[in-house]
């Protein structure tokens, strides 16, 4: 709207200027005619009175003093009466008017030129603007076909549309990011499915084998029972694996919500011990707990227990029989440190940051135990971090590992 008004005003101004120029030209033409007429009359006067030629011409050049004698004035007055023209007045008026007209014409033309120049530049600017808009249009079109770095071809000049360009750029980057995330998630899901199916294959295969063999008529009762037992073991393994997998996939898809509330830590530790003690006893590994006082920490008891069970499970799995797993609890300033120390295979320091990644299995761990999905520690870390705590591993003096878990104290001690 504003633009239209402005161009209208510009149009009127240009028309007015043109009118002025024409008027000035017309005036010049008219005045030139009058001047010629005066000159003609003057010539006529001089031809009749040759003796006055000098005075008349001098007076034309403005040397009033010489020509200004009373006699001359008289003669001129007579002449003016006779020929009916006022020589000096008209001469001066015409000259002034002519100068004015010339000036006006010059100024008018200059303004016209300026207006033309402005018009051309604004046209060029509009063209640039149009090009920028077209580039943006193309860019947005390419976004919709999935080419998200099309924004790199946008004009980079500091035009008036620069802010718009920047928004489009941000949009492109956002789309790209989302696209990458989606691809990443797809990859993740694929990896998850591949891993789960891979992990399930082995126990399922051995289960099927023993199931098929058990129906063989030539088997003794004793052998049959043996197969039955191993089947049960495999079923247990499958069950455990599935439980962990379900938890991982639920955690990844944000179906598990961890709600930390102030709760006693000892209960969590005892619940975890109860879960793993059978397995430990089976393997001949002794469990020990050193916990002098109890602490109220911020935790989701169910998931804290799950995390601790996973860490203990891991230590039991990768320790030889006859060793012990020790848990120590001690206060820090704003948190409580829970250490799980084993005498197992240990973790090489270059693998420290990898063992908490999903499906990562340490080189020594993989060499020692064929089953293990590489999700227990990942799950433990996810849970603990969502409660504001941490987990890390370091080498124990005896060659095993120490897992250090922290829980946030519900009421921080301030005296450290």
Partner 1 sequence: MKPIAQTIDLVKYYGKEGNLVKAVDHTSVTIERGKFTAIVGRSGSGKSTLLHLLGGLDRPDSGKVFIDGDDIYAMKENELARFRRQKVGFVFQDYNLLNSLNVWENIVLPIGLDNRKVEKDFIMDIVESIGLKEKLHTRADKLSGGQMQRTAIARALAARPAVILADEPTGNLDSRTELEVMALLKKCVSHYGQSLIMITHDETIAQMADTVCVIEDGKVVAAE
Based on CB atoms, which residue is closest to partner 1, 374 or 389?
A: 389
Question: Could you say whether residue 215 binds partner 1 (CB under 8 A)?
Answer: no
How far apart are the C-alpha atoms of 276 and 313, rounded to whole Å? 7
Among 57, 281, 332, 366, binds partner 1 (CB under 8 A): 332
Based on CB atoms, which residue is closest to partner 1, 145 or 414?
A: 414
How far apart are the C-alpha atoms of 252 and 246, rounded to whole Å? 10
- Contact region for partner 1 (CB under 8 A) — 75-83, 96-104, 150-158, 351-359? 351-359
Least CB distance to partner 1 at residue 389 (A):
7
Question: Could you say whether residue 416 binds partner 1 (CB under 8 A)?
Answer: yes
How far apart are the C-alpha atoms of 330 and 336, rounded to whole Å? 6
How far apart are the C-alpha atoms of 380 and 355, rounded to whole Å? 11
Least CB distance to partner 1 at residue 410 (A):
13
Least CB distance to partner 1 at residue 267 (A):
22
How far apart are the C-alpha atoms of 380 and 391, rounded to whole Å? 8
Residue 244, classed as helix, strand or coil, is: helix
Based on CB atoms, which residue is closest to partner 1, 180 or 225?
A: 180
Other Cβ atoms within 10 Å of 362 Cβ, number: 23
Among 14, 149, 404, 410, binds partner 1 (CB under 8 A): 404
- Contact region for partner 1 (CB under 8 A) — 64-72, 228-236, 313-321, 402-410? 402-410
Read off φ and ψ for residue 393, nearest 5 degrees. -120, 145
Question: Could you say whether residue 291 binds partner 1 (CB under 8 A)?
Answer: no
How far apart are the C-alpha atoms of 237 and 91, rounded to whole Å? 124
Among 335, 372, 380, 382, binds partner 1 (CB under 8 A): 335
Q: Which 161-180 residues touch partner 1, going by CB under 8 A? A: 173-174, 177
Taking alpha carbons only, the member of 274, 305, 277, 325 closest to residue 384 is: 305
Question: Could you say whether residue 363 binds partner 1 (CB under 8 A)?
Answer: no
Order the strands of the 335-341 sheet from edge to edge. 286-291, 324-331, 335-341, 401-408, 390-395
Which residues of the chain form contacts with partner 1 (CB under 8 A)?
173-174, 177, 330, 332-335, 337, 349-350, 352-354, 356-357, 385, 388-390, 392-394, 404, 406, 408, 412, 414, 416
């Amino acid at each position: 709207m504003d633009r239209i008004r402005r161009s209208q005003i510009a149009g009127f101004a240009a028309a007015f200027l043109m009118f002025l120029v024409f008027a000035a030209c017309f005036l010049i033409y008219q005045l030139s005619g009058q001047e010629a007429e005066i000159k003609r009359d003057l010539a006529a006067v001089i031809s009749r009175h040759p003796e006055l030629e000098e005075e008349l011409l001098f007076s034309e050049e403005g040397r009033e003093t010489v020509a200004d004698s009373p006699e001359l004035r008289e003669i001129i007055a007579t002449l003016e009466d006779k020929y009916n023209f006022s020589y000096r007045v008209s001469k001066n008026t015409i000259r002034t008017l002519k100068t004015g007209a010339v000036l006006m014409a010059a100024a008018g033309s200059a303004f016209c030129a300026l207006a033309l120049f402005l018009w051309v530049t604004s046209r060029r600017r509009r063209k640039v603007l149009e090009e920028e808009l077209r580039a943006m249009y193309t860019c947005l079109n390419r976004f919709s076909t999935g080419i998200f770095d099309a924004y790199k071809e946008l004009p980079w000049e500091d035009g008036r549309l620069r802010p718009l360009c920047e928004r489009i750029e941000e949009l492109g980057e956002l789309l790209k990011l989302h696209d990458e995330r989606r691809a990443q998630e797809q990859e993740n899901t694929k990896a998850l499915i591949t891993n789960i199916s891979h992990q399930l294959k082995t126990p399922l295969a051995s289960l099927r084998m023993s199931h098929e063999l058990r129906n063989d008529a030539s088997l003794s009762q004793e052998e049959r029972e043996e197969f039955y037992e191993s089947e049960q073991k495999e079923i247990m393994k499958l069950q455990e694996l599935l439980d962990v997998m379900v938890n991982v996939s639920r955690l990844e898809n944000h179906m598990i919500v961890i709600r930390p509330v102030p709760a006693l830590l000892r209960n969590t530790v005892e619940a975890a011990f109860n879960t793993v003690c059978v397995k430990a006893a089976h393997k001949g590994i002794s469990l020990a707990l050193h916990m002098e006082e109890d602490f109220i920490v911020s935790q989701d008891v169910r998931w804290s227990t799950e995390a601790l069970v996973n860490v203990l499970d891991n230590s039991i799995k990768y320790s030889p029989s006859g060793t012990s797993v020790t848990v120590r609890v001690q206060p820090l300033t704003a948190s409580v440190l829970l250490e799980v120390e084993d005498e197992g295979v240990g973790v090489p320091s270059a693998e420290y940051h990898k063992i908490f990644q999903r499906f990562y299995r340490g080189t020594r761990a993989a060499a020692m135990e064929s089953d293990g999905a590489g999700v227990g520690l990942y799950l433990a870390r996810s849970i603990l971090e969502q409660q504001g705590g941490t987990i890390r591993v370091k080498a124990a003096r005896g060659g095993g590992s120490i897992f250090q878990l922290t829980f946030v104290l519900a009421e921080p001690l301030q005296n450290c």
